[in-house]
Amino acid sequence: AQRVTQPEKLLSVFKGAPVELKCNYSYSGSPELFWYVQYSRQRLQLLLRHISRESIKGFTADLNKGETSFHLKKPFAQEEDSAMYYCALSSMDSSYKLIFGSGTRLLVRP
Amino acid sequence: KAGVTQTPRYLIKTRGQQVTLSCSPISGHRSVSWYQQTPGQGLQFLFEYFSETQRNKGNFPGRFSGRQFSNSRSEMNVSTLELGDSALYLCASSLEGEQYFGPGTRLTVT
């Protein structure tokens, strides 16, 4: 079965602390992995995708096929990082169907 | 470029009624996907349209339907509304594997 698991509903850290948002997936095949972010009162937006291997707003994520994980990391959290983060996967075919995790709320305290 | 727009933004309906939601994708995007977001089930894929054809469908009853027009605008329809259909309905348009989300339509069924 295709599934994305984000084990933490809430992650609270202090400003300047490292952040790791966990994401594990289950998929028979080679999926494409994404992280989406939703800031307060804003629409859902793409943060990064594994095939681009870019660092956005200081966040990085590495696809570990052995552990079927795609954890999101940032070395020094900022207050403006506080948001809802969703991990998602799609199959690498022509269809744009995203399977989302349940989301993790990141709270960065001053 | 203008972002994805959805109308209406808020809607209140009564059980048994039907509702039509509209989505205008980003200019040049030919794929439109729909998602339902609820506190209990999270973000769930409804269906995806590409060049007026449904390319993929999620696990929702037949009361949920959609269509896409030649200008890529899309509508989704829910017939015989149930209380459990209360949700935020998100539309996303896609280009080269990246999905851009609209602000959503908040549907409340009473």
Greater model confidence, B61 or A53: B61
Q: Is A95 exposed, middle or buried (0-12, 13-18, 19+ CB in 10 A)?
A: middle
Taking contacts as CB-CB distances below 8 angstroms, the residues of chain B near A84 are none
d(CA A70, CA A104): 14
Greater model confidence, B105 or A27: B105
Helix/strand/coil for B85: helix
H/E segment holding residue A4: strand A3-5
Phi, psi at residue A81, to the nearest 5°?
Answer: -80, -10
Where does the pLDDT of residue A92 fall: very low under 50, low under 70, confident under 90, or very high at 90 and above?
Answer: low
pLDDT computed for residue B93 by the predictor: 95
Best of A2, A97, A104 to substitute, by most chain B Cβ atoms within 10 angstroms, is A97
Mean pLDDT score of chain B, rounded to an integer?
95
Centre a 10 Å sphere on the Cβ of residue B59 and count the other Cβ atoms it contains.
Answer: 7
Q: Is B45 exposed, middle or buried (0-12, 13-18, 19+ CB in 10 A)?
A: buried
Mean pLDDT score of chain A, rounded to an integer?
91
Token pair, residue B54, equals: 């449904």
- Contact check, Cβ <8 Å, B101/A102: no
Token pair, residue A107, equals: 């709270």
Query: Do B11 and B107 meet the contact criterion of CB atoms below 8 Å apart?
Result: yes
Which residues, 6+ apart, have CB-to-CB distance to B71 below 8 Å? none
Taking contacts as CB-CB distances below 8 angstroms, the residues of chain B near A51 are 97
- Contact check, Cβ <8 Å, B42/A100: yes
d(CA B35, CA B41): 11
Where does the pLDDT of residue A94 fall: very low under 50, low under 70, confident under 90, or very high at 90 and above?
Answer: low
List pLDDT tens digits, range B48-81.
999 999 998 999 999 999 999 999 999 999 999 9
From B3, B50, B99, residue closest to A46, measured CB to CB? B99
Q: State yes or no: pLDDT of A55 exceeds 70.
A: yes
* B99 in reach of chain A (CB within 8 A): yes
